[in-house]
Amino acid sequence: MSKRLRSSEVCADCSGPDPSWASVNRGTFICDECCSVHRSLGRHISQVRHLKHTPWPPTLLQMVETLYNNGANSIWEHSLLDPASIMSGRRKANPQDKVHPNKAEFIRAKYQMLAFVHRLPCRDDDSVTAKDLSKQLHSSVRTGNLETCLRLLSLGAQANFFHPEKGNTPLHVASKAGQILQAELLAVYGADPGTQDSSGKTPVDYARQGGHHELAERLVEIQYELTDRLAFYLCGRKPDHKNGQHFIIPQMADSSLDLSELAKAAKKKLQSLSNHLFEELAMDVYDEVDRRETDAVWLATQNHSTLVTETTVVPFLPVNPEYSSTRNQGRQKLARFNAHEFATLVIDILSDAKRRQQGSPLSGSKDNVELILKTISNQHSVESQDNDQPDYDSVASDEDTDLEATASKANRQKSLDSDLSDGPVTVQEFMEVKNALVASEAKIQQLMKASRLEKQNSTPESDYDNTPNDTDPDDTGSSRKGRQRSMVWQGDGSVPDTAEPHTAPSPILPSTEDVIRKTEQITKNIQELLRAAQENKHDSYIPCSERIHVAVTEMAALFPKKPKSDTVRTSLRLLTSSAYRLQSECKKTLPGDPGPPTDIQLVTQQVIQCAYDIAKAAKQLVTITTKENNN
């Protein structure tokens, strides 16, 4: 019998027999019951794989086996090995213990709280300690001693540490030395195979130079792990990296739904995300793929007659406290996507990942331009709160406290009170837009009819359907520093609130007809600007933005200085601040502008985004006044 089989007879957490799962980043084998707790903690705590029913890269499995056989578990249970801990009553779980609370509490303490890990002596400067640990890791990875490196990582060493004197990272060192299992461990902890050293070489380059061809090929696979996993989830195939094929983009069997304007608009929003936000979304979708695949393995391997599966279900991605409340809520909503919706999202991400990696431009500003106003008409009203699906305001967690719930609600209120997008259309908005239309189709039709009755023959038909626009998810663009407040755009660029401090809130709203007339004026000016963008007439940006500014100011003047309605205030702030940002962006096209050279493509994208936000806010105001005046 091999050493691996003898060692793996016992679960690392409860000492139960025949563990069938592994925690990859902890280097341990665990039983079904303990695995159910690991899964509920999330991948940021424990990355679980079934030993037989999950496909494994051979060297990754070898890395976990090596760690477990060489006592990696003692890293996580260090203080429990001290005889004094037995005297104090601290002990690890037993196979006979109940999953909840006994095993669950022990596993959380062990991996989430790191309660039993050996602690270094306290020092005043934690950053120096982390740097020292990272330097030790840097020198240790040239050897085959995996458990030493795992111990350093458990104490805070950084897998991507760039050594200031050596000019490279631990992965460069491991690759040069041909240490493939060290490379696997570093990659599990986030090391990037594409990082260049001070001479411009990557770990892949060093592996090839040293003749470590298996390692070089594996590092290339690790570079594309995210997109490979998404493709494999949909079609069961992976790209042939050896022959230069790095992406597989599966096709939907029935792509009719993907031809809708809504699906096209969702794809455009995905393309407009910054690289940072796109990476976040892709990582979240990767985690959801992992949850769904692990669920399938879990359900297929359980003895349902003896195991109470209700206590071990992971219905959506667990909370990662390092992420914002908004991102955690968005991650959980991924579980609500049905198979077709989720497959569409995965394909969109794969397609755009390939485009970004190859440096291809967007499919053309014309498509963006034509879809801006069409997309607007397919969203819900700020007032509409009757969606029957849960919002996960208080993100589900076993540790969920009143404080967390309060913070989550405060975050959502902040979203409603300051819906001023700053940067690309958000991840949250993209994830919501695909199934936003169906839930409110009837209400949309009613409001369209109501608006058209109000207009009668006084104005020509506009590009707005006057459809409701649901509460947009929090606009978490790459920065929120530029959020502005109201209608005076002079001086140092600030946008002060024009309402007097003691002005009483006013419930009075302008007539629907007046708001529609001003909205159509704004629409006309936006269309002119978008045509200029479409035709690359950049010198038209500033005069167009000035006309939009005038139209926005006139529309805002219709409303009281201090509206009583929160939604009116939110929409007015979005309207006026977006017009202000539009002017700022357009001024970047002026020749002789100080600073770095202007990226006109980027400016154009921001101009289109501002136009989108202005149109969205104007439509919100039409919807609100139509609804209020008809009541």
Burial of 21 (0-12, 13-18, 19+ CB in 10 A): buried
Q: Which of the four pLDDT bands, split at 50, 70 and 90, describes residue 529?
A: confident
Task: Enter the tokens of residue 604.
Answer: 């154009």
Q: By mean pLDDT, which of 128-137, 198-207, 382-391, 541-550 is the weakest?
A: 382-391
Amino acid letter for position 327 = R
pLDDT of amino acid 384: 36
What does pLDDT average to over the chain?
76
Nearest to 16 by CA among 75, 97, 70, 94: 94
Q: Would you say residue 341 has pLDDT above 80?
A: yes
Residue 447, pLDDT score: 42
Element (H, E) at 326: helix 325-333
Task: Compute and round to an integer the Cα radius of gyration of the chain.
Answer: 28
What's the confidence (pLDDT) of residue 188? Answer: 98
Query: Is the model more confident about 113 or about 476?
Result: 113
Compute, in degrees rounded to 10, the torsion defined by CA atoms 358, 361, 367, 368.
Answer: 110
Torsion of CA 26, 31, 37, 41, to 10 degrees: 20
Question: What pLDDT is recorded for position 126?
Answer: 60
Q: CA-to-CA distance for 145 and 72, rounded, in angstroms?
A: 11
Tell if the pTM clears 0.95, that is, is over it.
no
Q: Would you state the pLDDT for residue 259?
A: 56
∠136-141-147 over CA atoms, to 5°? 85
Can you give the pLDDT at residue 600? 76
Whole-number pLDDT of residue 346: 94
Instruction: For residue 148, count CB atoms less than 10 angstroms from its CB and return exposed for 0-12, middle for 13-18, buried for 19 or more.
Output: middle
pLDDT at 296: 87
Q: What is the pLDDT of residue 581?
A: 85
Cα separation, 588 vs 601, whole angstroms: 12
153-162, 248-257, 399-408, 520-529: range with highest mean pLDDT? 153-162
Average the pLDDT over 190-205 and give the result.
Answer: 96
Higher pLDDT, 464 or 106: 106
Predicted pLDDT at 124: 59
What would the pLDDT profile of 114-151 be if each residue is shown by its tens digit?
999 987 766 655 666 889 999 999 999 999 999 999 99
Q: In this model, does residue 334 exceed pLDDT 60?
A: yes
Measured between alpha carbons, how far is residue 263 from residues 186, 260, 312, 344 in Å?
A: 38, 5, 35, 9
If you average pLDDT over residues 376-389, what whole number do you get? 38
Please name the residue ranges forming H helices in 11-52. Answer: 32-41
- Whether 82 shows a pLDDT value over 80: the answer reads no
Q: What is the pLDDT of residues 400-457, one digit of tens each?
A: 333 333 333 334 333 333 333 333 434 444 444 433 333 333 333 444 444 444 444 3
User: Does 215 score more than 60 pLDDT?
Assistant: yes
2, pLDDT greater than 80: no
Measure CA 162 to chain center.
26
**Count of other CB atoms within 10 angstroms of residue 203:** 31
At residue 519 the predicted structure's pLDDT band, cuts being 50, 70 and 90, is: confident
Cα distance between residue 321 and residue 403, in whole Å: 13
The pLDDT score that the predictor gives to residue 592 is 65
If pLDDT is split at 50, 70 and 90, which confidence band does 257 have?
very low
Residue 32 has pLDDT above 70, yes or no: yes
